[in-house]
């Protein structure tokens, strides 16, 4: 275990002990003492092809030995050309031009700047307002954080953030309609239309959303008509639809794009995390030629300079990951094992603090509540999500916590997103180990009287 201030690392959290991981294989991580951890969330929803895939490591080494870096402002190279060609072939509709970057936040920043620049270059410079959902999360750079509804992050930086118009997210567990007809304004899209009309389409550059909820709503799935309504509204009012699939794309929900089941194509698609499987930092903004043509005829460039965009080794990792996904049919495997995964996780519903379990593909959210009848959240001071995460780690399971989704401050959930190579036996182990963690925290809450601690 390593903790600040020992050593010289500025850790992500300065108040916890960190196991030192020295090796990964498949769905497993191994620390310096030899202890094994079952990676139930792919690190940060990243390790979709599993740990220790030699083919990707070899492709990166081969690329680095030939060409490690050139500036994307001066040169192109085979790795980026081949990666872009392979990624474009997987994307829906007319999305065929790929701008590679290094993180999801960076790509969201670039995508939103792209929409603003697009309208300016077409002579409609008044179109600069962003509409986003609440709850929502899109990253930690300042424009991406502005689009996020994550108040516990934003409070420190409020004076630096831009104003964003909020509409309620389609969130069946906490919506008035429960996700069934007749739909409430959030789930029908009426809330989005009202916001567009109120603000004025002539002022709106983009609507940004995750097609399946990420950490902000714990894998919440909107009613099927919702995204078709979004597409129709954006078309009718001249608003660019930016689909944030950094977490939920690249096969995670059982289809390459999480919008595929709805037959909807966004104007701009943002990918990250799983497109390089965690082997290198890589994200991408994917746009159609009709948008790229506007830049080509105008300023000539998307004004989002980044030193490591179009990076040869990262693109080689991305290409090798896409090839590995295809050759092992892992997106198809994700869809095939998903029913077994959700049946196993659904068995946790009998636990006292589990309010809801939902998701799609190999993505699941378990929402934790103080009262299952009223769906009242635990008070934030109880730190329930964090305690479950720590208890799961003690059980040898890695899960992902999130907080604040109930009202912006309160709310606890944990998420699962195992690698696509997860076996049926490992699925059962994930469910069993998480049951042990949830049972332990439930017992602690009851013993201390915190079980009644509602928001």
In a domain, 237, yes or no: yes
pLDDT for residue 455:
53
Confidence of residue 442 (pLDDT cuts 50, 70, 90): very high
Helices within 93-135 (DSSP H only) = 104-121
Same domain (yes/no): 232, 267: yes
* CATH label of the domain that carries residue 163: 3.40.640.10
pLDDT for residue 146:
93
pLDDT for residue 158:
86
In a domain, 26, yes or no: no
Q: Which of residues 327, 351, 385 is at a domain's end? A: 327
Same domain (yes/no): 302, 356: no
Burial pattern 266-296, b for ≥16 Cβ within 10 A else e, equals bbbbbbbbbbbbbbbbbbbbbbbeebbebbe
Burial pattern 106-145, b for ≥16 Cβ within 10 A else e, equals bbbbbbbbbbbbbbbeeeeeebebbbbbbbbbbbbbebbb
Separation of alpha carbons 300 and 66, rounded Å: 30
User: Of 123, 125, 97, which is closest to residue 111 (Cα–Cα)?
Assistant: 97
In a domain, 4, yes or no: no
Same domain (yes/no): 293, 395: no
Same domain (yes/no): 258, 407: no
In a domain, 434, yes or no: yes
Q: Which domain does 415 fall in, by range?
A: 331-452
Q: What are phi and psi of 450, to 5 degrees?
A: -75, -15
pLDDT for residue 7:
87
Confidence of residue 4 (pLDDT cuts 50, 70, 90): confident
pTM here is: 0.96
In a domain, 20, yes or no: no
Same domain (yes/no): 175, 285: yes
Angle at 305 between CA 301 and CA 307, to 5 degrees: 135
Same domain (yes/no): 157, 291: yes
Q: Which of residues 310, 327, 344 is at a domain's end? A: 327
Q: Which helix (H) or strand (E) covers residue 229, if one does? A: helix 225-237
Query: Collapsing DSSP states into helix, strand and coil, what is residue 118?
Result: helix
Q: Tokens 């009848």: give the residue.
A: 373
* CATH label of the domain that carries residue 393: 3.90.1150.10
In a domain, 6, yes or no: no
Mean pLDDT, the chain, as a whole number? 96
CB atoms within 10 A of CB 14: 10
Same domain (yes/no): 297, 338: no
In a domain, 341, yes or no: yes
pLDDT for residue 154:
79
Confidence of residue 61 (pLDDT cuts 50, 70, 90): very high
Q: Which of residues 266, 295, 327 is at a domain's end? A: 327
Q: What is the pLDDT of residues 26-57, one digit of tens each?
A: 999 999 999 999 999 999 999 999 999 999 99
Same domain (yes/no): 85, 221: yes
Q: What is the pLDDT of residues 170-189, one digit of tens each?
A: 999 999 999 999 999 999 99
Angle at 274 between CA 272 and CA 275, to 5 degrees: 65
Same domain (yes/no): 360, 238: no
Separation of alpha carbons 257 and 251, rounded Å: 7
Total domain count, the chain: 2
Same domain (yes/no): 321, 404: no
Query: Collapsing DSSP states into helix, strand and coil, what is residue 288?
Result: strand
Confidence of residue 155 (pLDDT cuts 50, 70, 90): confident
Same domain (yes/no): 250, 132: yes
In a domain, 142, yes or no: yes
Query: Collapsing DSSP states into helix, strand and coil, what is residue 364?
Result: strand
pLDDT for residue 451:
55
* Contact criterion met (CB below 8 Å) for 73 and 449: no
Same domain (yes/no): 110, 226: yes
């Amino acid at each position: 275990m390593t903790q600040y201030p020992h050593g010289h690392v500025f850790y992500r959290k300065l108040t916890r002990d960190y196991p030192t991981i020295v090796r990964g294989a498949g769905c497993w991580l191994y620390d310096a003492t030899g202890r094994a951890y079952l990676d139930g969330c792919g690190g940060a929803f990243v390790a979709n092809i599993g740990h220790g895939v030699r083919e990707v490591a070899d492709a990166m080494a081969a690329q680095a030995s030939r060409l490690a870096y050139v500036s994307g402002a001066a040169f192109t190279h085979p790795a980026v050309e081949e990666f872009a060609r392979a990624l474009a072939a997987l994307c829906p509709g007319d999305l065929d031009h790929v701008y590679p970057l290094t993180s999801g936040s960076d790509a969201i920043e670039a995508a939103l700047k792209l929409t603003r620049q697009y309208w300016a270059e077409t002579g409609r410079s008044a179109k600069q307002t962003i509409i986003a959902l609440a709850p929502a999360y899109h990253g930690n750079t300042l424009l991406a954080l502005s689009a996020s509804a994550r108040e516990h992050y934003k409070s420190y930086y409020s004076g630096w953030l831009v104003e964003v118009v909020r509409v309620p997210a389609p969130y069946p567990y906490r919506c008035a309609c429960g996700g069934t007809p007749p739909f409430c304004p959030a789930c029908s899209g009426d809330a989005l239309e009202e916001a567009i009309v109120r603000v004025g389409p002539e002022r709106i550059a983009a609507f940004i959303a995750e097609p399946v909820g990420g950490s902000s709503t714990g894998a919440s799935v909107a009613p099927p008509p919702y995204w078709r309504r979004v597409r129709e509204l954006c078309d009718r009012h001249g608003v660019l639809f930016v689909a944030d699939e950094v977490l939920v794309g690249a096969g995670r929900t059982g289809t390459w794009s999480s919008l595929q089941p709805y037959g909807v194509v966004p104007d701009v698609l943002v990918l990250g995390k799983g497109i390089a499987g965690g082997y290198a930092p890589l994200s991408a903004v994917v746009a159609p030629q009709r948008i790229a043509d506007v830049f080509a005829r105008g300023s000539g460039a998307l004004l989002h300079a980044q030193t490591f965009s179009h990076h040869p080794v990262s693109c080689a990792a991305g290409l090798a990951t896409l090839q590995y996904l295809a050759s092992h049919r892992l997106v198809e495997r994700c869809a095939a094992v998903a029913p077994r995964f959700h049946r196993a996780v659904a068995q946790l519903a009998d636990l006292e603090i589990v309010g809801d379990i939902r998701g799609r593909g190999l993505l699941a959210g378990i929402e934790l509540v103080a009262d299952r009848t009223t769906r009242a959240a635990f008070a934030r001071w109880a730190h329930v999500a964090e305690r479950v995460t720590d208890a799961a780690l003690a059980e040898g399971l890695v899960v992902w916590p999130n907080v604040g989704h109930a009202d912006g401050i309160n709310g606890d959930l944990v998420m699962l997103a195992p690698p696509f190579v997860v076996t049926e036996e490992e699925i059962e182990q994930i469910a069993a180990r998480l049951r042990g963690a949830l049972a332990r925290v439930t017992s602690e809450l009851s013993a201390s009287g915190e079980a009644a601690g509602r928001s």
